[in-house]
Every structure is written in C-alpha cells, then in structure tokens.
Amino acid sequence: MNINKNSFLFNEISSLKGVGLKTKKYLERKRIEKIKDLLWDLPYSIIDRSKITSLRELEIGKITTVKVNVIKYNFPRVRNLPNKVICGEKEEKINIIFFNSYEGYIRKILPIGKEVIISGKIGYFKKHYQITNPTYVKPAVQKEEIAKIFPKYSLTEGLTEKIYRKLIFEVLNKINDNYEWHSDEFLKDNNFNKLKETFLNLHNPSKKIDIFSDDYRRLAYDEIFANLLTLFSARKSVKLKKKKKKIYSNKFSELILKNFDFDLTNDQKKVLEDLDKDIRSESRMFRLLQGDVGSGKTILALIAAANVIESKYQVAFMAPTEILASQHYELAKKLFFSTNIKIELLTSKTNLKDKKKIISNLKNGSVNFLVGTHSLFQKKIKFSKLGFIIIDEQHKFGVKQRISLAKKGGDNCDILSMSATPIPRTMMLSFFGDMDVSLLNEKPKNRKDVVTLLKPENKISELWPLIKKQISLNRQVFWVCPLIDESKKLDFSSAVKKYNLIKKIFPNHVGILHGNVDKVEKNIVLKKFLEKKIKILVSTTVIEVGINFPNANIIIIENSNKFGLSQLHQLRGRVGRGNIQSYCIMLYKNNLSENAKKRLKILRKTNDGFLIAEEDLKIRGHGDLLGFQQSGIKNFKFADPIHHKDLFLMAEKKIKNIKIENIKKYEDLIKLHDKAEIINEIAN
C-alpha cells in the first residue's frame, strides 16, 4: 500500500482544481468535506445517452441523444428572450434553445451546416420538439464522448452533473493503481477488484448499481472490516492492560441472594459465573449484559457490585435518566439492607449541601456505591478506589464514550454495560464487537408471559369495562399514541385528544406525557404514576426503557401497525414486571399493509425479544432498527446486515487472526471510514 501517494484523499475538498468558495459550499451541503467523500457518494442511477435517437422517435421528457445538422440561427434582439438554433435530420426539425448564452458561444459549438451530436431532455413547445440548454453538444466526429452511459448523482442546487463527474474522475485518476490493503490472494478468492478498479467501475456503471455486485460487495466488506477492526482494537487494548485481582468471599452477595423470594434461572447463574470470573481475573472486564425486558439484569449487576465492594473497591452505577437512576438506587437499598454497604444517589436534583457531602465521602472512601446519571463522571467527582462501573441502557453510548469511560475508571476498574434492546448477531458484531457478551434469554420463573391481543380501533369502546375493572383492583394502564397533536396529513391518533377523551370517562385518574412536556413535569408525572396517584398514563413513546412499573398490567398501543416490531416489543415490556397477568392490546386500522400484518402476527405468537429483533431486521431493514437512529448509532453507508450477512462473518473471521501490531497495515482503510479518531483514542 502506497500511503504517501494517496494521502491527498484526506485533504479538504477545496484543494481540488475548480473548487472555489461557491462550489465548496454546495459540496458541503452534500456533506462532502474531504476529497475521499466524493468516492463514497455513489451514483443512484444511470443516464443512457448511448443510443442515437431519430427525430421521428422522440419522447417528451426523456433524456435523449440526437445527431442533427445545424440549419438556422434565431438570435432575438429583445432582452431576456432565449436564443434558438433550428437543427434537422432529413425532413424532421428540432429547436435547440439557450437561455443566458452568448451568440458567439452558440455559433462556435453549433456552426451552420455542420453535423453535431446533442444530448438533453426533450420538450415540446408550439408544435415543435426542443431541447433547452442541452447537457452536451459535440461535433459528430466526437460521438464517443457523448454517446455512452453516464452515472446520475443526487445533487444539490448549484452543482451540475458535468462538474460533479469531472471532480470525481479527477480524484479517481490520481489514485495509485496499487492502492490496496488486501492481499491479491484474498481479492481473487472473493471476486473482488483492487480498490481503484472498484471505484472506477462503480462511478462508471453500465447499469444501475446492484448491492450484490462484486464491486459493491467489496466496498461493503471494507466498511464492515473497518468498523469491526476498530472495535477489535478497543477490545484488545482493554485486555492487554493487566489489573489487580479482586479477592472476596461472596459474603455480601450471599446475603443479597437470601433476600430474594425466588430462585435464579439457569441463564442468571451462568451470567453470574461470567461476571465472577471477570472480576477475579487479571484482565479487565469489558462486558455487555444483554437481556430482554424483565430478565433480571439489574439484580445480577448489583450482586457483582456487592462482591467488588467486599474486595475494598468502590462501584459506580450510571443510568441514562434521573428517574431510572432513582429506581436503581431504591432497588440497591432494598437488596443491600442486610449489609453495611454505604449507597448514595447523585443527580441534578441532589441539593448542593448533600452533593458536597457525597463528593467528599466518595473521595475519602466512605461511600461504597454511587448511583446516578452520566454526570457521575464530571471532573470534580473523584473516587477513592473505583473498581467497577455499571452502565445501564448501553445502546445510548457509542464506542468512543466507552473508551473514555474505561480510561476514567483506571487500570483496575471493570466495566459492565447492560442493554434491554435485543440485537441480531450481525448488528451485535457491528456495535459491540469491542466487548464480551453475556445473554439472558430466560425470564424469572415467577413472571408470566404478557398476553398480546389485537383489536380494530373501531371497537375501542369495548376496552372501557376492562380498564374500569383494573382500576377497581388498583391496577394501572399505559395508553400509547404515536403523535402529540392532531395531524390532517397523517392518520395517527393524538395523545392530547385521547387524554381529553379518557379524562371524561375516568376523571381524576389520568396523566399525560409527550415530547413537549419539560423534564421537571415529566418526572412529576412519572413519580405520580409510580406512587399509583395516576391510574392511566397516556403517553407517546417517551416511556423510559428500564423503568419498572410493577403495578401496571395493561398497555394499549394505538396505530400499532405504524410501529416497528422491536419498538412494539419494547413498549410491551413496560408491563408484566410483577407476578400478575398482564396484557398488551394493539389497536389497528382495518386497511393494514402486508408488512403490518406480519409484524402484529409475530408479536402475538412470541415474547422472545431476540427472535423479534431478527424478524424486524428482515421486514424493515437495518435503517432504523430498534430506533438506533434516535439513539445516535450510525448506520452503514454500504453494508446491509441482511443482504451482506456473509461479509460480517467473513470480516469477523479475518479479524480474529490479526495481531494488534499489524493494524497499521489498515491505517488508510480506517481513515477512509472515519475511524482514525477512535483508534487514536485507544492508543493514547
């Protein structure tokens, strides 16, 4: 690989010839800032100018190439009128119209009596065919320059196809022919071309780009490989740093287990063994605990925390929201009551006096366990001897944040992340390949499966007796709507409208939550629901993942066909947290699409989040799987976890055989895919 000769790819786009301030501004609108970004912007279609069309066969609105003779000029002397050139082929005529073009320029490119090739979109005006401002005009002898297939790009205003293609091919021509990081043998075995040839083929296609073509698969593989290689580097760097073994007798964890009124599942016992092994080892724990909603992840994390505290280290438990942090704090107090473990909660709501005291006690080591939000890792908060960090709802944190957190913890600090979002294997590799993974598939034995029912929206009145009965039994209900306000364009229910309707039927029992409710009000409403002061909570999908409402046993989801499978499963997980029978009622409109029917049937059949995630991937694709777009997890440009599953597994296999000192070989690949910053973070 010749890095020096191709380092220009990482230069600013303005360093290219012909890219002035205006063009740079237009390109930046397309998020093209570096020269390399041009290569990633593949054409979305093609324009076929290869066929010379007779004037008798013209079709209005179609991009067409014609060969004609220049017959006559019509240059009006009235300002702002267009110039017209009459051209012909045998008895047929076509007008070539020019706006904002000089007479001298037109005479030069279209000399009278000469045969020319013209390409552009066919129009029709006053009973005559015409081409306005043609894209290409060349002498007939230069036919091969026009009569071919051209790539079509998605462009912003101010950029023309001609200018854009010129920039791309300027870049392609500068790339060294031997610019490559894969061996010739590897390329041959997988029907891949060298990188330059791959880009030349994709930017000069003979047909619309196919994601199954060898050239496209080459780019998809490189993207997957760069992503997994970055995660692999992070994982190796953590594993290479040795820590002191944590020594404990399990006395605290045994006290906690005695507090349980149920037995651990086999899955839970296996996960505890994984955590125990990591904590006692000389290699740092960097583990993801993935379990479906209600599978008991938090309890296992707290048992592990108790063992770390017994070994004379401190523990930090970080949750994404204050209400979830408060709930973890209350659970920890309940589980640790028979121990002498000192627990504190630190959030933005903690008053200044208490905050100062907690920070001081944390520094001198008298606080063993601190629960809070990500604000736990502000510079002013210093631990005496931090040995374990637990992060809840891991999918909201990226690899860069995980690396930063690992560094803050110090060399002897283990890290356990938890996620209630089931993720298919290919996605797991892509997002959490830097971590060891433990899975919880079994639910606690006292938990009953949520009964899922489908009901058409025109029978909504049949729900009132059911809700009335549940309220009389002191149960609670979630009512989920997709939008905040009425929308004439979208046939969705309105949370506000539904709140007003339910309030009339069940006065003094209803609360509302949506995206326009501020943080303080939101916490007040959730607290009232937790304290059973509100019996029915009308909400958009802002119900926090992980918050435990054991008394809520019914969730009603309006327009359920508008939600994705995994999102519906996450919502369903808001109920069924206690030992009472729970119900998920999915309301739908009669005109369901085939995909919507598939989704609802799958949910009715299974409560297995991992199976649902796989099915969701098949139905929806990976674009917004599990709401990852909202969670800040970047989608792939080229790779598709469904169609390129084999490439994910191929990349994983190759990476397992790479030594960390050989990663430099792939330096440019990592830079081309914007992973260099993460690699540098790992190295420092």
| CATH class given for the domain over 251-440 | alpha beta
Among 271-285, 447-461, 590-604, the minimum mean pLDDT is found in 590-604
Q: What is the band of 75 on the pLDDT scale with cuts at 50, 70, 90? A: very high
Output the pLDDT for position 101.
Answer: 86
Q: Is the pTM of this model over 0.95?
A: no
pLDDT over threshold 80, residue 410: no
Write down the residue that tokens 């390409």 correspond to.
119
CB atoms within 10 A of CB 602: 18
Nearest Cα to Cα of residue 481 among 394, 373, 563, 583: 563
Output the pLDDT for position 240.
Answer: 73
pLDDT over threshold 90, residue 492: no
Nearest Cα to Cα of residue 71 among 101, 93, 100, 99: 93
**Which residues, at least 6 apart from 578, have a Cβ–Cβ distance to it below 8 Å?**
550, 551, 553
State the Cα torsion 249-251-254-256 to the nearest 10°.
-130
Contact 535, 552 (CB under 8 A): no
State the span(s) of the chain assigned CATH 3.40.50.300.
251-440, 451-606
**Which residues, at least 6 apart from 678, have a Cβ–Cβ distance to it below 8 Å?**
230, 234, 399, 400, 403
| CATH class given for the domain over 451-606 | alpha beta
- DSSP notation for 469-492: HHHHTT-EEEEE-SBSS--SSS--
pLDDT over threshold 90, residue 132: yes
User: Which residues pair with residue 494 across a beta bridge?
Assistant: 483
pLDDT over threshold 50, residue 632: no
pLDDT over threshold 60, residue 319: yes
Output the pLDDT for position 494.
Answer: 72
Measured at the CA of 208, the angle between CA 205 and CA 212, to 5 degrees, comes to: 95
Q: Alpha carbon 170 to chain centroid distance? A: 33
The per-residue pLDDT for range 22-63, each reduced to its tens digit, is 999 999 988 899 999 999 999 988 888 888 999 999 999 999
The whole-chain average pLDDT of the chain stands at 83
DSSP strand pairing (92-98 vs 128-132): parallel
pLDDT over threshold 60, residue 488: no
Write down the residue that tokens 């570096």 correspond to.
34
Retrieve residue 298's tokens: 């938090």
The number of CA neighbours under 13 Å toward the Cβ of 549 is 31
User: Which residues pair with residue 453 across a beta bridge?
Assistant: 585
3-state SS, 532-552, equals CCCCEEEECCCCCCCCCCCCE
Output the pLDDT for position 514.
Answer: 77
Mean pLDDT of 472-499: 71
Write down the residue that tokens 């506000």 correspond to.
496
Q: Quick one: which H or E segment has residue 373?
A: none
Mean pLDDT of 464-485: 84
Output the pLDDT for position 659.
Answer: 76
Helix (H, G, I), strand (E, B) or coil at 345: strand
Mean pLDDT of 641-664: 82
Output the pLDDT for position 547.
Answer: 65
Contact 405, 284 (CB under 8 A): no
Output the pLDDT for position 397.
Answer: 60
CATH of domain 51-147: 2.40.50.140
Output the pLDDT for position 317.
Answer: 92
Distance (Å) of CA 174 to CA 166, 197, 222: 13, 12, 21
Percent of the chain with pLDDT over 70: 87
State the span(s) of the chain assigned CATH 2.40.50.140.
51-147
Q: Quick one: which H or E segment has residue 499?
A: helix 495-505
pLDDT over threshold 60, residue 625: no
Q: Which of 518 and 396 is assigned the larger pLDDT?
A: 518
**Percentages of the chain per state (helix, strand, coil), in multiples of 5:** 45, 20, 35
- DSSP notation for 626-648: GGHHHHTPPPPSS--TTTTHHHH
The per-residue pLDDT for range 180-192, each reduced to its tens digit, is 999 999 999 999 9
Contact 304, 276 (CB under 8 A): yes
pLDDT over threshold 50, residue 633: no
Output the pLDDT for position 630.
Answer: 32
Phi, psi of 242 (to 5 degrees): -80, 150
Among 81-85, 103-107, 559-563, 645-649, the minimum mean pLDDT is found in 559-563
Output the pLDDT for position 134.
Answer: 93
- The conformational region for residue 17 under phi > 0 = left, psi -120 to 50 = alpha, else beta, is beta
pLDDT over threshold 80, residue 621: no
The per-residue pLDDT for range 160-215, each reduced to its tens digit, is 888 898 999 899 999 988 889 999 999 999 999 999 999 999 998 888 788 889 99
Percent of the chain with pLDDT over 90: 27
591-595 contacts at long range (C-beta below 8 A, 24 or more positions apart): 592/561, 593/561, 595/619, 595/620
The per-residue pLDDT for range 568-597, each reduced to its tens digit, is 887 888 887 767 888 999 888 877 777 777
Retrieve residue 167's tokens: 């920039």
Output the pLDDT for position 64.
Answer: 92
Mean pLDDT of 506-516: 83
User: Which residues pair with residue 417 across a beta bridge?
Assistant: 288, 391
